[in-house]
């Protein structure tokens, strides 16, 4: 169902409708497009309104290229970028009961994560998680693993093997964690983190597909010496960092108690040199205005995780308020605080949660279809620092894309059985996704239908850096 890593890429032409985000407010819809992707997986050219594909092929001398065409109810769309997902928590997706963050960690999360000390367990969990996220069109993910070196290294191996672009973080946690699942010291946490960095360097020396990411679990799980050492490591390596911030009110109070010398949660990270333009902050629900301004000043990025925030009753993040201040925002599934590994679900929930925020803060808080799709693609690309390489279809960018297909309702057929309705009328074609198209919809309406009712069945093929990494069977 995918092209193995050792098979060289062929040049390929993608022909038909492609849709991507032009700006936060606007989709770019190109109905008769041709995109040429070279043997390095890069977009070599892009022709709009191409009436005759043969002419385009000839003009570029690409007669030998492999051709992929869309039908009238299909379109190419950029792959999704999941800016916050705990691969290690995947088996718990959907299991959280009535909990909120701090009891959820102890009840559900730490026991599961600690079980990934066993590499065979980790292999089962990570293989399935990566298969699923690819099938949902996630071409790039910022993963939390666990604090185990071998399992974390295995996650990097699996991502590379599966062809998914990934940031893989060994989770640092030397405080307020259970004895059975904890770094024994700040030094040990740093040494283990360096081991995973070395491993990733050995399998992907240029970080072309897989990159390490420094991962202090969250401030309450880290002692000041660990935060300090991670800040040093960040400065010396320039590696990206990911963590959590201000997800839950109890957590915010705990941080205030644990770090009495700091003026805010954001300032804790800032104090240790972690709040930089390479920092991904997940959640950011209960920020003060001054925290928001500090985050903006440092150009740190925010991963909005709407499904998780509803599920754990954490709160409704004020995304409009963040965007208006100029902060870069992307989306995260946050499995398994978030119940779903699907970025399309994250996109949909970003829209729905923004409506709950709007019920309190007014209509301006509502995010449009265009905006939530932007957050899931271009926004995410900026969050992970890859906006020059992925997130949209432009010459020079890499081909991280999905082919989306919708089900066209067979109008004529159903209309035949005027008098006697027969069983045939009720038959749903097997394998077709849940999105029904009746033929009169504009492209914007088709996209809206996909966002609100689509699932992995609509993601027919997925490419990363030009390589086919998933195809529906």
For the bound state, the minimum distance from the C-beta of residue 129 to a copy of itself, rounded and expressed in Å, comes to 9
Residue choice 13, 87, 101, 130 for contact with a copy of itself (CB under 8 A): 130
Positive or negative, the CA dihedral 365, 366, 369, 373 is positive
Is position 315 an interface residue for a copy of itself (rule: CB under 8 A)?
yes
Residue choice 70, 74, 109, 135 for contact with a copy of itself (CB under 8 A): 135
CA distance 130 to 162: 8
Return the closest-CA partner of residue 346 out of 338, 354, 358: 338
CA distance 441 to 243: 41
Is position 311 an interface residue for a copy of itself (rule: CB under 8 A)?
yes
Q: HSE on the CB side for 445, CA within 13 Å? A: 7
Helix (H) or strand (E) holding 298: helix 289-298
For the bound state, the minimum distance from the C-beta of residue 454 to a copy of itself, rounded and expressed in Å, comes to 9
Is position 26 an interface residue for a copy of itself (rule: CB under 8 A)?
no
Residue nearer to a copy of itself on the CB measure, 196 or 223: 196
CA distance 442 to 339: 32
Q: Which two tokens stand for residue 72?
A: 């009238």
For the bound state, the minimum distance from the C-beta of residue 177 to a copy of itself, rounded and expressed in Å, comes to 22
Pair 53, 27: CB distance under 8 Å: no
Q: Hey, which residues between 141 and 200 contact a copy of itself (CB under 8 A)? A: 157-158, 161-162
Residue nearer to a copy of itself on the CB measure, 173 or 311: 311
CA distance 326 to 347: 20
Q: Which two tokens stand for residue 286?
A: 């209960």
Print the binding letters for residues 416-455 with a copy of itself: x by CB under 8 A, - otherwise: -xx--x-x-xxxx-xx--xxx-x--x---x--xxxxxx-x
Residue entry with tokens 């066209």 = 408
Is position 6 an interface residue for a copy of itself (rule: CB under 8 A)?
no
Strand partners, 241: 214, 279
Pair 278, 239: CB distance under 8 Å: yes
Pair 472, 405: CB distance under 8 Å: no
For the bound state, the minimum distance from the C-beta of residue 315 to a copy of itself, rounded and expressed in Å, comes to 6
Identify which range of 138-146, 238-246, 274-282, 306-314 contacts a copy of itself by CB under 8 A.
Answer: 306-314
Is position 4 an interface residue for a copy of itself (rule: CB under 8 A)?
yes
Residue choice 120, 202, 253, 277 for contact with a copy of itself (CB under 8 A): 120
DSSP 6: T
Residue nearer to a copy of itself on the CB measure, 317 or 383: 317
Residue nearer to a copy of itself on the CB measure, 289 or 430: 430
Residue choice 147, 264, 310, 333 for contact with a copy of itself (CB under 8 A): 310
For the bound state, the minimum distance from the C-beta of residue 355 to a copy of itself, rounded and expressed in Å, comes to 4
- The end-to-end CA distance of the chain, in Å, is 7
Is position 465 an interface residue for a copy of itself (rule: CB under 8 A)?
no
Pair 312, 248: CB distance under 8 Å: yes
Question: Which residues, 6 or more positions from 196, have their beta carbon under 8 angstroms from its beta carbon?
Answer: 149, 152, 153, 156, 168, 170, 212
Q: Hey, which residues between 73 and 102 contact a copy of itself (CB under 8 A)? A: 90-91, 93-98
Q: Hey, which residues between 350 and 379 contact a copy of itself (CB under 8 A)? A: 352-353, 355-356, 358-360, 363, 366, 368-369
Is position 253 an interface residue for a copy of itself (rule: CB under 8 A)?
no
Residue nearer to a copy of itself on the CB measure, 215 or 459: 459
Residue choice 31, 53, 73, 127 for contact with a copy of itself (CB under 8 A): 127
For the bound state, the minimum distance from the C-beta of residue 252 to a copy of itself, rounded and expressed in Å, comes to 15
For the bound state, the minimum distance from the C-beta of residue 82 to a copy of itself, rounded and expressed in Å, comes to 16
Is position 405 an interface residue for a copy of itself (rule: CB under 8 A)?
no
For the bound state, the minimum distance from the C-beta of residue 352 to a copy of itself, rounded and expressed in Å, comes to 5
Query: Residue count at the site for a copy of itself (CB under 8 A)?
Result: 75
For the bound state, the minimum distance from the C-beta of residue 420 to a copy of itself, rounded and expressed in Å, comes to 9
For the bound state, the minimum distance from the C-beta of residue 60 to a copy of itself, rounded and expressed in Å, comes to 32
Is position 324 an interface residue for a copy of itself (rule: CB under 8 A)?
no
Q: HSE on the CB side for 128, CA within 13 Å? A: 11
Is position 337 an interface residue for a copy of itself (rule: CB under 8 A)?
no
> What is the DSSP annotation of 210-256?
EEE-BEE--GGGS-HHHHHHHHHHHHHH---EEEEES-SHHHHHHHH
Return the closest-CA partner of residue 86 out of 338, 275, 269: 338
Give the sheet arrangement for strand 80-86, strand by strand.
80-86, 138-144, 165-169, 210-212
Is position 117 an interface residue for a copy of itself (rule: CB under 8 A)?
no
Pair 156, 163: CB distance under 8 Å: no
């Amino acid at each position: 169902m995918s092209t193995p890593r050792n098979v060289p890429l062929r040049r390929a032409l993608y022909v038909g409708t492609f849709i991507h985000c032009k700006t936060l407010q606007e989709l770019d819809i190109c109905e008769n497009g041709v995109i040429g992707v070279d043997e390095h997986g890069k977009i070599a050219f892009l022709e709009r309104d191409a009436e005759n594909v043969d002419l385009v092929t000839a003009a570029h001398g690409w007669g030998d290229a492999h051709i992929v065409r869309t039908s009238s109810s299909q379109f190419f769309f950029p792959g999704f970028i999941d800016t916050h997902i705990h691969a290690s928590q995947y088996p718990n997706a959907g299991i959280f009961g009535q909990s909120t963050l701090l009891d959820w960690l102890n009840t559900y999360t730490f026991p599961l994560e600690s079980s990934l000390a066993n590499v065979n367990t980790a292999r089962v969990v990570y293989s399935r998680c990566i298969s699923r996220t690819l099938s949902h069109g996630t071409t790039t993910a910022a993963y939390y693993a666990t604090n185990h070196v071998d399992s974390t290294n295995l996650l990097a191996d699996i991502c590379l093997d599966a062809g998914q672009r990934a940031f893989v973080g060994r989770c640092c946690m030397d405080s307020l964690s259970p004895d059975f699942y904890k770094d024994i010291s700040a030094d040990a946490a740093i040494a283990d983190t360096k081991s995973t960095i070395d491993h990733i360097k050995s399998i992907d020396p240029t970080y072309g597909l897989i990159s390490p990411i420094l991962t202090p679990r969250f401030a309450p799980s880290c002692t000041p010496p660990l935060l300090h050492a991670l800040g040093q490591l960040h400065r010396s390596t320039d590696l990206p960092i990911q963590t959590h911030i201000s997800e839950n009110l109890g957590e915010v109070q705990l941080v205030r108690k644990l770090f009495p010398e700091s003026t805010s949660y954001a300032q804790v990270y800032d104090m240790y040199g972690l709040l930089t333009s390479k920092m991904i902050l997940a959640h950011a629900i209960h920020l003060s205005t001054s925290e928001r301004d500090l985050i903006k000043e440092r150009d740190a990025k925010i991963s909005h995780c709407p499904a998780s925030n509803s599920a754990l009753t954490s709160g409704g993040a004020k995304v409009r308020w963040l965007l208006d201040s100029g902060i870069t925002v992307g989306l995260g599934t946050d499995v398994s605080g978030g119940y779903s590994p699907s970025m399309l679900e994250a996109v949909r929930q970003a829209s729905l949660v923004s409506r709950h925020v709007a019920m309190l803060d007014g209509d301006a808080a509502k995010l449009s279809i265009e905006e939530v799709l932007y957050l899931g693609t271009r926004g995410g690309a900026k969050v992970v620092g890859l906006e020059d390489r992925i997130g949209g279809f432009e010459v020079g960018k890499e081909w991280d894309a999905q082919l989306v297909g919708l089900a066209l309702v067979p109008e004529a057929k159903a209309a035949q059985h005027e008098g006697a309705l027969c069983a045939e009328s009720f038959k749903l074609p097997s394998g077709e996704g849940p999105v029904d198209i009746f033929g009169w919809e504009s492209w914007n309406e088709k996209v809206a239908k996909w966002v609100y009712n689509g699932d992995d069945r609509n993601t027919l093929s997925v490419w990363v850096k030009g390589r086919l990494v998933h195809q529906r069977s």
